[in-house]
Amino acid sequence: MKLLALLLAGSLALAPFATGRSGSIPSIRPAGDLDQTISAQEPAVAGRAVIEQGHVDIGPRFDGTAAGQGGTGNWLIQIHDSSGPQPVWRNLPDVVLKVADAAKQVVPDDPSYAFLGATPGSEVYVVPQTQQQGVVWAGWNTQDPQVITAIKRQARLSLTGVQGPGTVMMYLQSGNLGQPQVLWDSRRTGQQDVFMDANAHTHANWVFSTPGIYFLSVEFTAELTDGSTASSKQVLRFAVGSATDPEPGFAQLALASSPAAVPAGSADPAGGQLLWAAGGVLLALLLAGLLIGLLRSIVSSRRAKSEVEAVAKLGQQR
Protein backbone atom coordinates (compact mmCIF):
# COMPACT_ATOMS: atom_id res chain seq x y z
CA MET A 1 0.00 0.00 0.00
CA LYS A 2 3.04 2.27 0.27
CA LEU A 3 3.02 2.88 -3.48
CA LEU A 4 -0.70 3.69 -3.49
CA ALA A 5 -0.35 6.19 -0.64
CA LEU A 6 2.62 7.86 -2.30
CA LEU A 7 0.89 8.18 -5.65
CA LEU A 8 -2.29 9.56 -4.14
CA ALA A 9 -0.26 12.15 -2.25
CA GLY A 10 1.43 13.07 -5.53
CA SER A 11 -1.91 13.86 -7.10
CA LEU A 12 -2.13 17.05 -5.06
CA ALA A 13 0.61 18.79 -7.06
CA LEU A 14 -0.07 19.02 -10.78
CA ALA A 15 0.56 21.65 -13.42
CA PRO A 16 -1.83 22.24 -16.36
CA PHE A 17 -1.37 19.68 -19.10
CA ALA A 18 -3.13 17.69 -21.77
CA THR A 19 -2.28 14.47 -23.56
CA GLY A 20 -2.26 13.92 -27.28
CA ARG A 21 -4.24 10.69 -26.97
CA SER A 22 -6.85 11.32 -24.28
CA GLY A 23 -7.84 14.98 -24.52
CA SER A 24 -7.63 17.69 -21.88
CA ILE A 25 -7.35 17.41 -18.12
CA PRO A 26 -8.78 20.14 -15.85
CA SER A 27 -6.11 22.72 -15.07
CA ILE A 28 -4.79 22.52 -11.51
CA ARG A 29 -2.78 25.31 -10.00
CA PRO A 30 0.86 24.29 -9.39
CA ALA A 31 1.56 23.83 -5.70
CA GLY A 32 4.65 23.70 -3.51
CA ASP A 33 7.93 23.23 -5.36
CA LEU A 34 6.17 23.26 -8.74
CA ASP A 35 5.80 27.03 -8.43
CA GLN A 36 9.23 28.00 -9.79
CA THR A 37 10.71 30.76 -11.93
CA ILE A 38 13.70 30.30 -14.21
CA SER A 39 16.04 33.23 -14.75
CA ALA A 40 17.61 34.12 -18.10
CA GLN A 41 20.93 34.38 -16.24
CA GLU A 42 21.07 30.70 -15.29
CA PRO A 43 24.12 29.34 -17.13
CA ALA A 44 24.61 26.29 -19.33
CA VAL A 45 27.48 24.11 -18.09
CA ALA A 46 29.52 21.33 -19.68
CA GLY A 47 30.79 18.09 -18.20
CA ARG A 48 29.27 14.77 -17.24
CA ALA A 49 26.93 14.52 -14.25
CA VAL A 50 25.22 11.60 -12.53
CA ILE A 51 22.23 13.01 -10.66
CA GLU A 52 20.82 10.71 -7.98
CA GLN A 53 18.63 13.08 -5.98
CA GLY A 54 17.18 16.55 -6.13
CA HIS A 55 15.07 18.36 -8.69
CA VAL A 56 15.61 18.20 -12.47
CA ASP A 57 13.39 19.04 -15.46
CA ILE A 58 13.79 18.44 -19.16
CA GLY A 59 12.71 21.38 -21.25
CA PRO A 60 13.28 23.42 -24.40
CA ARG A 61 15.70 26.30 -24.33
CA PHE A 62 17.24 28.79 -26.75
CA ASP A 63 21.01 28.35 -26.48
CA GLY A 64 21.81 32.00 -27.28
CA THR A 65 19.81 33.38 -24.33
CA ALA A 66 22.04 32.91 -21.28
CA ALA A 67 25.25 33.16 -23.31
CA GLY A 68 24.54 36.80 -24.14
CA GLN A 69 25.02 36.22 -27.86
CA GLY A 70 22.03 38.31 -28.85
CA GLY A 71 18.90 36.82 -30.35
CA THR A 72 17.43 33.53 -29.27
CA GLY A 73 19.85 31.03 -30.76
CA ASN A 74 18.94 27.41 -31.41
CA TRP A 75 15.97 25.60 -29.86
CA LEU A 76 17.20 22.50 -28.05
CA ILE A 77 16.21 20.17 -25.23
CA GLN A 78 18.30 20.48 -22.10
CA ILE A 79 18.08 19.45 -18.46
CA HIS A 80 17.37 22.19 -15.94
CA ASP A 81 19.32 20.96 -12.91
CA SER A 82 18.43 22.57 -9.60
CA SER A 83 19.80 19.70 -7.49
CA GLY A 84 22.89 21.72 -6.56
CA PRO A 85 23.52 25.09 -4.87
CA GLN A 86 22.73 27.04 -8.06
CA PRO A 87 20.43 26.00 -10.93
CA VAL A 88 22.13 25.30 -14.25
CA TRP A 89 21.27 23.92 -17.69
CA ARG A 90 22.96 20.72 -18.91
CA ASN A 91 23.07 18.91 -22.24
CA LEU A 92 21.23 15.58 -22.20
CA PRO A 93 24.21 13.50 -23.43
CA ASP A 94 26.13 14.74 -20.37
CA VAL A 95 23.57 13.54 -17.81
CA VAL A 96 22.51 10.17 -16.43
CA LEU A 97 19.64 10.21 -13.93
CA LYS A 98 20.39 7.56 -11.29
CA VAL A 99 17.30 5.95 -9.73
CA ALA A 100 18.48 4.42 -6.45
CA ASP A 101 16.93 1.51 -4.56
CA ALA A 102 15.20 4.10 -2.36
CA ALA A 103 12.75 4.39 -5.27
CA LYS A 104 11.54 0.79 -4.91
CA GLN A 105 7.82 0.52 -4.21
CA VAL A 106 5.44 -2.42 -3.84
CA VAL A 107 2.77 -2.71 -6.54
CA PRO A 108 -0.64 -2.41 -4.81
CA ASP A 109 -3.31 -5.08 -5.11
CA ASP A 110 -5.69 -2.65 -6.77
CA PRO A 111 -7.27 -3.02 -10.25
CA SER A 112 -6.60 0.68 -10.86
CA TYR A 113 -2.91 -0.16 -11.25
CA ALA A 114 -3.28 -3.21 -13.47
CA PHE A 115 -1.98 -1.05 -16.34
CA LEU A 116 1.50 -1.38 -14.80
CA GLY A 117 1.56 -5.00 -15.97
CA ALA A 118 3.30 -6.00 -12.72
CA THR A 119 2.21 -8.62 -10.22
CA PRO A 120 0.64 -7.13 -7.05
CA GLY A 121 3.16 -7.41 -4.23
CA SER A 122 6.16 -7.22 -6.57
CA GLU A 123 8.56 -4.28 -6.54
CA VAL A 124 9.08 -1.64 -9.19
CA TYR A 125 11.19 1.53 -9.27
CA VAL A 126 9.12 4.72 -9.03
CA VAL A 127 10.31 8.29 -9.54
CA PRO A 128 7.22 9.81 -7.91
CA GLN A 129 5.05 12.77 -8.77
CA THR A 130 5.98 14.46 -5.50
CA GLN A 131 9.56 14.79 -4.29
CA GLN A 132 10.90 11.95 -2.16
CA GLN A 133 14.11 12.06 -0.12
CA GLY A 134 16.90 10.06 -1.74
CA VAL A 135 15.19 9.78 -5.14
CA VAL A 136 15.84 12.00 -8.17
CA TRP A 137 12.75 14.11 -8.91
CA ALA A 138 12.32 14.35 -12.67
CA GLY A 139 9.77 16.50 -14.49
CA TRP A 140 9.54 18.86 -17.43
CA ASN A 141 8.98 22.57 -17.98
CA THR A 142 8.55 25.27 -20.62
CA GLN A 143 9.89 28.08 -18.42
CA ASP A 144 12.97 29.35 -20.20
CA PRO A 145 12.23 33.10 -20.52
CA GLN A 146 12.75 33.16 -24.30
CA VAL A 147 10.64 30.02 -24.70
CA ILE A 148 7.76 31.60 -22.78
CA THR A 149 7.60 34.53 -25.18
CA ALA A 150 8.37 32.55 -28.34
CA ILE A 151 5.77 29.75 -28.09
CA LYS A 152 2.59 30.64 -29.96
CA ARG A 153 0.30 28.43 -27.91
CA GLN A 154 1.55 25.03 -26.74
CA ALA A 155 4.60 22.79 -26.82
CA ARG A 156 4.55 19.06 -27.42
CA LEU A 157 6.77 16.59 -25.55
CA SER A 158 6.91 13.24 -27.35
CA LEU A 159 8.30 9.83 -26.52
CA THR A 160 9.47 8.22 -29.76
CA GLY A 161 11.48 5.22 -28.60
CA VAL A 162 12.82 3.30 -25.59
CA GLN A 163 15.77 0.98 -25.15
CA GLY A 164 16.27 -0.87 -21.90
CA PRO A 165 15.95 -4.18 -20.04
CA GLY A 166 12.33 -3.65 -18.97
CA THR A 167 9.28 -1.47 -19.44
CA VAL A 168 8.96 2.25 -18.73
CA MET A 169 5.70 4.02 -17.94
CA MET A 170 4.81 7.57 -17.03
CA TYR A 171 1.42 8.60 -15.69
CA LEU A 172 -0.42 11.25 -13.72
CA GLN A 173 -3.16 11.06 -11.16
CA SER A 174 -5.64 13.88 -10.79
CA GLY A 175 -6.40 15.73 -7.56
CA ASN A 176 -9.88 14.19 -7.31
CA LEU A 177 -8.32 10.72 -6.84
CA GLY A 178 -9.54 9.61 -10.24
CA GLN A 179 -8.08 6.87 -12.37
CA PRO A 180 -4.36 7.15 -13.21
CA GLN A 181 -3.83 8.55 -16.69
CA VAL A 182 -1.01 6.92 -18.65
CA LEU A 183 1.07 9.39 -20.67
CA TRP A 184 3.87 7.11 -21.89
CA ASP A 185 4.09 3.34 -22.10
CA SER A 186 7.12 1.67 -23.70
CA ARG A 187 4.97 -1.34 -24.66
CA ARG A 188 3.07 0.83 -27.15
CA THR A 189 4.27 1.48 -30.66
CA GLY A 190 4.36 4.87 -32.30
CA GLN A 191 4.89 8.37 -30.98
CA GLN A 192 3.27 9.27 -27.64
CA ASP A 193 2.56 12.98 -27.06
CA VAL A 194 2.00 15.25 -24.07
CA PHE A 195 0.98 18.89 -24.66
CA MET A 196 1.59 21.83 -22.34
CA ASP A 197 1.29 25.61 -22.34
CA ALA A 198 4.17 28.05 -22.12
CA ASN A 199 5.47 28.62 -18.58
CA ALA A 200 4.25 25.18 -17.45
CA HIS A 201 6.01 22.94 -14.93
CA THR A 202 4.86 19.35 -14.42
CA HIS A 203 5.95 16.21 -12.61
CA ALA A 204 4.59 12.71 -13.10
CA ASN A 205 5.18 9.17 -11.89
CA TRP A 206 7.94 7.35 -13.81
CA VAL A 207 7.84 3.57 -13.33
CA PHE A 208 10.67 1.19 -14.32
CA SER A 209 10.02 -2.54 -14.10
CA THR A 210 13.62 -3.74 -13.95
CA PRO A 211 17.02 -2.33 -12.92
CA GLY A 212 19.44 -1.41 -15.70
CA ILE A 213 20.25 1.30 -18.25
CA TYR A 214 17.34 2.94 -20.09
CA PHE A 215 17.48 5.30 -23.07
CA LEU A 216 14.34 7.33 -23.81
CA SER A 217 14.19 9.14 -27.14
CA VAL A 218 12.26 12.39 -26.62
CA GLU A 219 11.29 15.31 -28.84
CA PHE A 220 10.16 18.84 -27.90
CA THR A 221 8.24 20.70 -30.62
CA ALA A 222 6.34 23.99 -30.73
CA GLU A 223 4.91 26.46 -33.20
CA LEU A 224 6.48 29.86 -32.59
CA THR A 225 4.96 33.32 -32.78
CA ASP A 226 6.95 34.12 -35.94
CA GLY A 227 5.18 31.28 -37.76
CA SER A 228 8.08 28.83 -37.72
CA THR A 229 8.17 25.44 -36.00
CA ALA A 230 10.96 24.58 -33.59
CA SER A 231 11.88 20.98 -32.77
CA SER A 232 14.68 19.16 -30.97
CA LYS A 233 15.31 15.43 -30.51
CA GLN A 234 17.47 14.05 -27.73
CA VAL A 235 17.99 10.95 -25.57
CA LEU A 236 17.14 10.95 -21.87
CA ARG A 237 19.27 8.51 -19.87
CA PHE A 238 18.40 6.60 -16.68
CA ALA A 239 20.49 4.18 -14.59
CA VAL A 240 17.93 2.28 -12.51
CA GLY A 241 18.99 0.48 -9.34
CA SER A 242 21.72 1.32 -6.83
CA ALA A 243 23.93 -1.48 -8.18
CA THR A 244 23.66 -0.27 -11.80
CA ASP A 245 26.81 1.38 -13.13
CA PRO A 246 25.75 4.70 -14.75
CA GLU A 247 28.82 4.85 -17.02
CA PRO A 248 27.23 2.86 -19.92
CA GLY A 249 24.44 5.43 -19.88
CA PHE A 250 26.78 7.98 -21.46
CA ALA A 251 26.90 5.94 -24.68
CA GLN A 252 26.38 7.89 -27.89
CA LEU A 253 23.49 6.24 -29.72
CA ALA A 254 22.02 6.38 -33.20
CA LEU A 255 18.77 6.78 -31.25
CA ALA A 256 19.72 10.43 -30.67
CA SER A 257 19.68 11.35 -34.36
CA SER A 258 16.86 9.10 -35.58
CA PRO A 259 14.60 8.25 -32.64
CA ALA A 260 11.58 7.41 -34.79
CA ALA A 261 13.47 4.41 -36.13
CA VAL A 262 13.67 2.82 -32.67
CA PRO A 263 10.51 1.03 -31.54
CA ALA A 264 9.36 1.52 -27.97
CA GLY A 265 10.30 -1.37 -25.73
CA SER A 266 13.21 -2.61 -27.87
CA ALA A 267 16.10 -4.54 -26.40
CA ASP A 268 19.07 -3.14 -24.51
CA PRO A 269 21.31 -1.30 -27.03
CA ALA A 270 24.42 -3.03 -25.72
CA GLY A 271 23.22 -6.29 -27.23
CA GLY A 272 22.66 -4.66 -30.62
CA GLN A 273 26.08 -3.04 -30.54
CA LEU A 274 27.69 -6.40 -29.75
CA LEU A 275 25.84 -8.04 -32.63
CA TRP A 276 27.01 -5.35 -35.04
CA ALA A 277 30.58 -5.71 -33.76
CA ALA A 278 30.47 -9.51 -34.09
CA GLY A 279 29.03 -9.19 -37.59
CA GLY A 280 31.80 -6.79 -38.56
CA VAL A 281 34.48 -9.19 -37.30
CA LEU A 282 32.94 -12.12 -39.19
CA LEU A 283 32.72 -10.07 -42.38
CA ALA A 284 36.37 -9.04 -42.04
CA LEU A 285 37.43 -12.67 -41.52
CA LEU A 286 35.38 -13.78 -44.53
CA LEU A 287 36.95 -11.15 -46.77
CA ALA A 288 40.42 -12.08 -45.49
CA GLY A 289 39.72 -15.74 -46.23
CA LEU A 290 38.55 -14.93 -49.76
CA LEU A 291 41.64 -12.81 -50.39
CA ILE A 292 43.98 -15.53 -49.13
CA GLY A 293 42.18 -18.09 -51.28
CA LEU A 294 42.47 -15.85 -54.33
CA LEU A 295 46.20 -15.30 -53.78
CA ARG A 296 46.78 -19.03 -53.35
CA SER A 297 44.84 -19.70 -56.55
CA ILE A 298 46.96 -17.18 -58.46
CA VAL A 299 50.20 -18.64 -57.10
CA SER A 300 49.09 -22.18 -57.89
CA SER A 301 48.04 -21.16 -61.41
CA ARG A 302 51.39 -19.53 -62.08
CA ARG A 303 53.27 -22.54 -60.69
CA ALA A 304 51.27 -24.93 -62.87
CA LYS A 305 51.91 -22.75 -65.92
CA SER A 306 55.64 -22.75 -65.18
CA GLU A 307 55.67 -26.52 -64.82
CA VAL A 308 53.83 -26.97 -68.14
CA GLU A 309 56.26 -24.65 -69.90
CA ALA A 310 59.22 -26.51 -68.39
CA VAL A 311 57.89 -29.87 -69.55
CA ALA A 312 57.24 -28.51 -73.02
CA LYS A 313 60.78 -27.12 -73.24
CA LEU A 314 62.24 -30.39 -72.08
CA GLY A 315 60.32 -32.24 -74.81
CA GLN A 316 61.70 -29.93 -77.48
CA GLN A 317 65.25 -30.53 -76.33
CA ARG A 318 64.76 -34.27 -76.74
Q: Judge contact between 180 and 107, C-beta under 8 A.
A: no
pTM listed for this prediction? 0.72
Strand order in the sheet with 151-163: 23-24, 18-19, 192-197, 151-163, 212-224, 229-240, 95-99, 49-51
Condensed to tens digits (0 to 9), the pLDDT of residues 50-78 reads 999 999 999 999 986 444 344 467 899 99
Residue 175's contacts (CB-CB under 8 Å, 6 or more residues apart) are 11, 12, 14, 28
Domain edges within the chain: 2-265, 268-318
Residues 183-228: pLDDT tens digits?
999 999 999 999 999 999 999 999 999 999 999 999 999 999 999 9
Contact predicate 176/21, CB 8 Å: no
pLDDT tens per residue across span 17-39: 333 333 322 222 333 457 899 99
pLDDT: which is higher, 267 or 302: 302
